[in-house]
Amino acid sequence: MKNSITEHYTHGQLLDRILQGVEAIGKTPATVTVDELAPVDEFHIGGRQASDDFIRQLELSSDDHTLDIGCGIGGTSRFVASRFGCRVTGIDLTPEFVTTGQTLCDWVGLSGKVELHQGDATEMPFSDETFDAAFMLHVGMNIPNKAGLFAEVYRLIKPGAMFGIYDVMQTSDEPLTYPVPWSSVPGTSALATQDQYVEALEQAGFNITGTQNRRDFAAEFFAETRRQIERAGGAPPLGVHIAMGESAPVKISNMVENIAAGRVAPVEIFATR
């Protein structure tokens, strides 16, 4: 399954496409900012607004060393480093995401704060109790072994540290319409319910401190995105459609349909070690 997931996300010319988008908004690698990269950087429902709402609840400080699990091209890592001043280590299974993301860190001057690694989130190459906090955004849908994932996170964060999850979770038994952003076929999707997440977290030793279903937020986000595209007469130069490639429109359309039909919803879960 790991190879199938990597193949699903590998673009082939991702950095070149992002560079084209940057130039289309009148910027260069030397002048583009973290906020200007946000539309392509934040590869999850709600984009930067969702990241801001979610990360604020971790109560990070500039002294913290934070773990970004399934970091993608590092958008949320860069946001956290720039907004809160803390050090961020990210890990992702897809090599192209990691190399692209590290280049984007160079562009915005954050290579000293953000370090991205290629690897498996269920077997991370970091020492016990390294991190002051950990988070993952839209990652668990590709990891069947959630018990193993959460046990690994538990190992890596310090006692009392907070772990935040913002994932698309299953909310009914009705089958999804595919392809969706995280999977083209059911075989590479590892959806689970909120209850299953909570059970796996508690088995790993975590204490659940809060949950929030963000279905209504997602519906409004997609509606506003559609309005913006209609006003602009097409997709913006920078956006998550770049990472999804040519199949982006159908993936996004199916995602909207699946949420509207009550099959899935983006959900936040916070837990402490």
CATH number at residue 247: 3.40.50.150
Reduced DSSP (H G I as helix, E B as strand, rest coil) percent helix, strand, coil of the chain, to 5: 45, 20, 35
Domain count, the chain: 1
Over range 243-259, report the average pLDDT: 86
pTM higher than the cut 0.75: yes
For residues 203 and 147, the answer to whether their CB atoms sit within 8 Å is yes
Strand ranges (E), the chain: 65-69, 87-92, 114-118, 131-137, 157-170, 207-213, 264-272
Q: Write the DSSP assignment of 196-246 as a string of letters.
A: HHHHHHHHHT-EEEEEEE-HHHHHHHHHHHHHHHHHHTS--SSSTHHHHGG
What percent of the chain stands above pLDDT 70? 99
Instruction: Tell me the per-residue pLDDT of 11-31, one tens digit each, with 9 for 90 and over.
Output: 778 999 999 999 999 999 999
Q: Which of 58-67, 176-185, 240-249 has the lowest mean pLDDT?
A: 240-249
CA atoms within 13 A of residue 44's CA, in its CB half-sphere:
32
- CA 245 – CA 248 distance, rounded (Å): 6
Q: Which of 14-18, 116-120, 134-138, 155-159 has the lowest mean pLDDT?
A: 14-18
86 has pLDDT over 90 = yes
Q: In what order do the strands lie in the sheet with 65-69?
A: 114-118, 87-92, 65-69, 131-137, 157-170, 264-272, 207-213
- CA 43 – CA 28 distance, rounded (Å): 21
Residue 148: per-residue pLDDT? 96
Q: Which residues contact 227 (CB under 8 A, 6 or more apart)?
A: none
202 has pLDDT over 70 = yes
For residues 108 and 102, the answer to whether their CB atoms sit within 8 Å is no
Residue 158: per-residue pLDDT? 98
What percent of the chain stands above pLDDT 90? 77
Q: Which of 12-16, 30-34, 91-95, 200-204 has the lowest mean pLDDT?
A: 12-16
Show the domain range for 125.
2-272
Which of 48, 44, 45 lies closest to 36, judged by CA? 48
